[in-house]
Amino acid sequence: MASRAEFARSSNRFLWLFAIAWAGGAIAYVPFLTVLMPLRIVSIVGGDSVRVVGFITFFGAVAASGGNILFGWLSDRTGARRPWIACGLVLSSILLVSISLLHDWLSILLVVICWQLSLNMMLGPLWAWAADQVPRNRTGLLGGLMSLAPSAGAVTGVLVTTPGLAGPDGRLFLVTLIVCACMLPALLFIRPAPPQRDEDQDPVRTSSSMRFVVTMWAARLLLQIAESALFAYLLLYFLALDPTIAESWVARVFGGVLVGALPIAIAAGKWADRSSRPARPLALLALVSAGGLVALAASSSTADASLAYVAFGLGTTAFLSLHSGQTLRVLPSPKHRGRDLGLFNLTNTIPSLIMPWLTIFLVPTHGFSTLFLILAALALCSAGMLFTLKTLD
């Protein structure tokens, strides 16, 4: 096992290998849930696609919520992250490719549930792995590097939807190959972290400090509801504005925004590491997201909507990536990192339980504009909560 000095010298290598692996996790689900699965459902059910996509998103999120907590906890109990990550990679890859063999939406729903469980067998322990090894004074940089994940997912979506590159079945196979290529370097080349001495471990949080945990959790939840709505329904929203729009164009807009968020997130992460109020960058990014949602509500053309989405996407993507790193600073106990990160992951999955019903209730009768105004109010609340935090330590 590496000495602590050797481990410290390899921290940069860990950060980059982890960032690439985390990007692989996003590649596993971003192209599928934003483009490939909605297109598959549209081809099967046609005009009922909003309702069916909502059902699949809802039940998939239930599976993801439970799976992330369960497998994070199991990796805590076993004291090993790598075997769970590897097993999740194999199972999720097999299930993703198998979607190409299905031709009715109920079968797709059942496989997506199993796929979400296996995907979170990989992602839950992977996030806890970072908590094991990244010092608290580098969590801002870690969060910035984690913004590579949505960017990579979006770029992959653009790649696999390139006209003439691959058919619907081939796209799923390409996604699986890219995911494996991203995950394997971390599984093969990251060294185990040396045991932490008692004085090295974060103390169990006091009741005063738990306010920061709750505030961080709630602030992310509110903004994540908005992100989930655009994540699942971006293609359908643009199709409502222009029925002739190509899915590859939507994927390019989505990808361009996420790539542009990468330098913003890294800069904000470095600022947070140096700041006495590391929640301030998060609050400012939430305000940008709210402004983008208000602009989306007022848009009447694809050009206006694209510009508004750029503002929303840049702010939200940088916020969520930076928040993921900063979360490691407020975990209650070093002995239960996998479990506690699974509970934090509920801020990613609970919105997928709320958002489909909110969308189904509002969009058919009131349109997307009303939905976006409600989401903007949630983003403003998130910013207000984060502005009240003076420190995360």
pLDDT for the residue 194: 53
Query: What are the structural domains, with CATH classification, of the chain?
Result: 4-188+205-387 (1.20.1250.20)
**Structure tokens of 111?**
């496989």
Q: How many angstroms separate the CA atoms of 391 and 106, rounded?
A: 47
Total length of the chain:
393
Please report, as a single letter, which amino acid is at residue 46: G
Structural tokens at position 70: 């369960």
Which residues fall within 8 angstroms of residue 145, CB to CB, at 6 or more apart? 15, 16, 18, 19, 266, 269
Using the Cα atoms of residue 375, residue 238, residue 50 and residue 156 in order, give the sign of their dihedral: negative
Give the separation between CA 287 and CA 94, rounded to whole angstroms: 40
Task: Give residue 92's pLDDT.
Answer: 95
> Residue 151 and residue 25: Cα distance in Å, rounded?
12
Per-residue pLDDT at 193:
58
pLDDT of residue 391: 63
pLDDT at position 332: 66
pLDDT value, residue 204: 44
Q: Which helix (H) or strand (E) holds 102?
A: none
Question: Angle at Cα 32 formed by Cα 310 and Cα 109, nearest 5°?
Answer: 130
Residue 11's identity, in one-letter code, is S
Please list, residue by residue across 64-94, b when 16 or more beta carbons sit within 10 angstroms of its beta carbon and e when fewer do. bbbbbbbbbbbbbeeeebbebbbebbebbbe
pLDDT of residue 206: 47
Confidence (pLDDT) at 6: 52
- Is residue 300 within a helix (H) or strand (E), and if so which, with residue range? none
Taking the model in full, what pTM does it have?
0.77
Give every residue of the chain whose pLDDT is below 50, as ranges: 1-3, 7-8, 195-208
